[in-house]
Amino acid sequence: MTAYGALVLAALVLGWWVARRGAEIDRVHVDRMAPLVVACGLLGAWSLGWITEGPGGSRALYGALVAGVAAGISYAAACRLVLGRVGDTFAAAMALGIAVGRVGCFLEGCCRGTPADLPWAAGGRHPVQIYESLGALGLAGLLVLARRRRRVPGEAFLAFGAGYGVLRFSLEPLRGNHVPVALGLTLHQWIAAASVAACAALLAVRRALYASPRSSTMRRSSESPGFTG
């Protein structure tokens, strides 16, 4: 097994362990969701890589995130779980998984950065994979705090979507393997911007709904034992 493969495997195992340790749903559901999310995530990564780079293209992390989240939502809906609690269970786990996985990208030499003449340059290029790894690690710490201080279920997950979107949008100009597709932005920057906008909007809507007196009855109903798994 290559270093890249070992670190990707480590990222998946770490993500599962972190999600299970801090689960807000029955851990049985975490165990069942993990292989489904991973399988769909891998399919999504290959699919977006094929779309952006053609057959044989590299795997795209955003493809994995979108497909994995879609699979998680589908599972939660089928099992009548509280979606916000499911998302918060996996938020910090996803950030930590990215932090570890990007080290694997660095060792593999994929997702390379643009040329740079800096003391910490790797092979004459920005070690953008390490930048993202450190940023994701910091995001994971912020998500732990957000989860402790959240006002509504799902806030930590939405913070992940927005936070990673900002991180990825900021680092894309330093990526050497992506080209602009419209208005000087790469496809991944457009996805990141959409993610930030969608998560911010959803957070505002959820806070408004939970602040409404009428929502108290709905919350008690949706968080009853029949829905928490």
117 neighbors 125 (Cβ within 8 angstroms): no
Q: Give the predicted TM-score (pTM) of the model.
A: 0.87
- Residue 184 phi, psi (nearest 5): 75, 10
The reported pLDDT for the residue numbered 95 is: 96
Question: What pLDDT band is residue 212 in, cutting at 50, 70 and 90?
Answer: low
The reported pLDDT for the residue numbered 1 is: 78
For the chain, counts of helices (H) and of strands (E): 9, 2
Whether the predicted pLDDT of 221 surpasses 70: no
CA–CA dist 122, 109 (Å, integer): 10
CA–CA dist 31, 24 (Å, integer): 13
Distances (CA, A) of 43 to 4, 118, 129: 18, 36, 22
Question: pLDDT averaged over the chain?
Answer: 88
The reported pLDDT for the residue numbered 50 is: 84
The reported pLDDT for the residue numbered 56 is: 66
The reported pLDDT for the residue numbered 58 is: 72
The reported pLDDT for the residue numbered 202 is: 92
CA–CA dist 101, 13 (Å, integer): 11
CA–CA dist 131, 134 (Å, integer): 5
The reported pLDDT for the residue numbered 222 is: 45
Lowest mean pLDDT segment, chosen from 28-32, 43-47, 133-137: 43-47
The reported pLDDT for the residue numbered 225 is: 37
Mean pLDDT within 86-93? 94
The reported pLDDT for the residue numbered 223 is: 46
Q: How many domains does the chain have?
A: 1
- The alpha carbon torsion through 147, 152, 158, 162 (nearest 10 deg) reads -80
Instruction: Tell me 57's DSSP state.
Output: P
Residue 180: domain span: 3-228
The reported pLDDT for the residue numbered 67 is: 95
The reported pLDDT for the residue numbered 149 is: 85
Lowest mean pLDDT segment, chosen from 59-63, 92-96, 212-216: 212-216
Mean pLDDT within 148-161? 90
- CA angle in degrees (0–180, nearest 5) for 112-156-70: 65
- 3-state secondary structure at position 122: strand
pLDDT in tens, 106-143: 998 888 899 999 999 998 999 999 999 999 999 999 99
CA–CA dist 220, 75 (Å, integer): 22
